[in-house]
Amino acid sequence: MSATYRTAIHWFRRDLRLSDNTALWHAAQSAESVVPVYVLSNWTGEHHWTGPGRQQFLCGCLDSLAKNLETIGARLIIRQGDAADQLEQLIKDSQADAVFFNRDPDPYGREMEKQVQERCRSLGIDFHSHKDAVLHEPGEVLTGSGDPYKVYTPYSKNWFDQPKSETLGRPRSLHTPDGIKSDALPSLATWNLSIDRDLDSIQPGERAARDRLKKALDGPLLHYADKRNDPSAESTSRLGPDLRFGTISVREVFHRARKAADEAGSAGKRKSLHTFQKQLAWREFFMAILGHFPHVLDEEFNPAWRGLPWDDPGKQDRFERWKTGRTGFPIVDAGMRQLLATGYLHNRVRMIVAMFLTKDLHLHWRLGESHFMRHLIDGEIANNNGGWQWSAGTGADAAPYFRIQNPWTQTERYDPRGDYIKRWVPELEKVDSKRFQKPPEDSNPIADDYVIPVVDHKTERERTLEIFKKHRVES
């Protein structure tokens, strides 16, 4: 088959892998030479939502990608600056006649795509965009009347009914023309960032991602339905960073989970694997919400809850105590300390700490949203926003405002032995776990070197109910 193009550029973005990479596969099939490029855009390094943990993981993924490309005869080009400007210059440097890329589900990425496409048109260069980051883009899963879903359950039913694309292979060889200038692979110093924690437990790169998936399918995901809410257990896939950076495709994750379910020897294991697949549907539900209703990044999805009277974040230093894990609520403090130490937070604990911030401390969900995005290695704009608005009671298919999780009873239910708390709050290591399941008496701390609870949950729960009821009446 003769090539359509002499030289094509593949613009790597959230697809830092060779296997089952839609745009890269088509570029390899369509061009004699392929120039793989990653652009360190200004937004990548300077946006306040970009923290050192995520950047460290990105650096590792790019290093792994560069080595993988070398094994098939290609070279990863690194450019820094505005994506449209850098790609225009690369088109001229390489004399490329086409640009291939996979679409980004985030609004910032889509805006970048528009600028690149306009630049390609002005240069008379073909461009090809492909679906890759999701199984179904927002416009593909709609109601019978063609409207976007606002509730997860009917969305997920339709989502599962939709045919799923099969996985693609891995290019056997690529030729990158000689003489093309490249900047150095980035390090944290590239963005004047530093990190004071060890994230080696989350190995970056395509091979590490596939190893994680195999390990998850061989163990934790077989018991996911029963154990997924236990933060002390190895009960989740830990694939969040891999899906965020595309070191593994969501297609491969879905199909391998389905294959494992088909081969599972018990109904319980099949249920667990299907429950895991539902999390992939939740991921795309929130991406669809953001795609159809982009205003959710700036205000509440539900107009009934816009203008709620949130407290001043400086009040009694509550926000700072929440961020640093010094609230006096052990399960909350364990979660916030784990986040700062590792860049990871168990999903159950994400809900607990989010609801605590919004309904016990009465602080705006956007404060927590921003803090999570800065520190979570797997931070996805759509899913982070959706999760925070769900917890605050303001989002699509959100928990009703009167659903207010009690951190003490959540501890009793999900960390009854205190294993998770004792791991992350060492001053409580020798304390009886029963003391983590109810507030201390007479406002005394649970341990001598532990802080007094910043609020009384029962009192703040009543205040939250009053605030929401009053706002609903007045609006």
| pLDDT, position 48 | 53
- The matching CATH number, chosen from 3.40.50.300, 3.30.70.2190, 1.10.8.60, 3.40.50.620, for 5-132 is 3.40.50.620
> What amino acid is encoded at 379 in this protein?
G
Domain 303-474 fold is DNA Cyclobutane Dipyrimidine Photolyase, subunit A; domain 3 (1.10.579)
Domain 134-164+206-292 fold is 1.25.40
| pLDDT, position 1 | 47
Taking alpha carbons only, the member of 225, 190, 199 closest to residue 44 is 190
Residues of the chain predicted below pLDDT 50? 1, 45-46, 200
User: Could you tell me which residues come within 8 angstroms of residue 176 by beta carbon, excluding any fewer than 6 positions away?
Assistant: 33, 34, 35, 36, 69, 73, 74, 75, 77
Parse the chain into domains and list their residue ranges.
Answer: 5-132, 134-164+206-292, 303-474
Query: How far apart are alpha carbons 240 and 376 in whole angstroms?
Result: 10
Query: How far apart are alpha carbons 167 and 253 in whole angstroms?
Result: 10
| pLDDT, position 316 | 77
Question: What does the pLDDT look like over 129-173, one tens digit per residue?
Answer: 999 999 999 999 999 999 999 999 999 999 999 999 999 999 999
CA distances to 33, 102, 103, 215, 470 from 8, rounded to whole Å, are 6, 14, 17, 36, 59
Query: How far apart are alpha carbons 186 and 50 in whole angstroms?
Result: 15
